Amino acid sequence: MKRITLITIGLIALFSVGLAVAAVTAPPLPKYQSWKKSVRKVVTDKKSLFYGIHYIYADPKAIKGYQAGNKFPEGSRIVVEHFNIKGDNSAVDGPKNMVVLMKKDKNQKNTGGWLYAGYTADGKPSRLDPVKNCFECHQKEVAGRDYVFSGIADFK
């Protein structure tokens, strides 16, 4: 009897760990290239977390959220492509180094109602920690903007 109880407890623990891992697994990267694209953003401060060149893509729901003063409806999606700066010339996009997805999802309680997911340059999940790598900074810097750094002005 003790053996069956231990096996059952072990299976429940493994199942729980599997659910926890599944919860942080990145969803497939959406086909975002046809969404509204931002102006080119360049950050040349090498100490900045945002060092490099970025383009922000927003789906139609996210655009409505930007237009409403960064009040995003459920399901809004924002994708940011990050590129290296080529050599010392910030006028030239270097190779893509990562892609990040934010999706408004009220079930994501630990990250302010947003799902954060990171991808490699070729679109494969990067195992980004959504709390440590994303939300801690978003919470600290832009909590009053629905945790989004960019604004509608970035799309003009």
Q: Where are the domains of the chain?
A: 27-155
Radius of gyration of the chain from its Cα atoms, rounded to whole angstroms: 19
Q: Could you tell me the pTM of the whole model?
A: 0.82
Segment holding 105, helix H or strand E? none
pLDDT tens, residue order, the chain (156 aa): 444 433 333 333 333 333 333 345 789 999 999 999 999 999 998 888 788 999 999 999 999 999 999 999 999 999 999 999 988 778 889 999 999 999 999 999 999 999 999 999 999 999 888 898 899 999 999 999 999 999 999 998
What are the tokens at 132?
A: 């440590």
What are residue 69's phi and psi, to 5 degrees?
A: 80, 40
Instruction: Look at the domain 27-155 and name its fold.
Output: Chalcone isomerase (3.50.70)
- Euclidean distance between CA atoms 20 and 132, whole angstroms: 16
Bridge pairing between strands 41-43 and 52-58: antiparallel
Handedness of CA 87, 93, 99, 100 (dihedral sign): positive
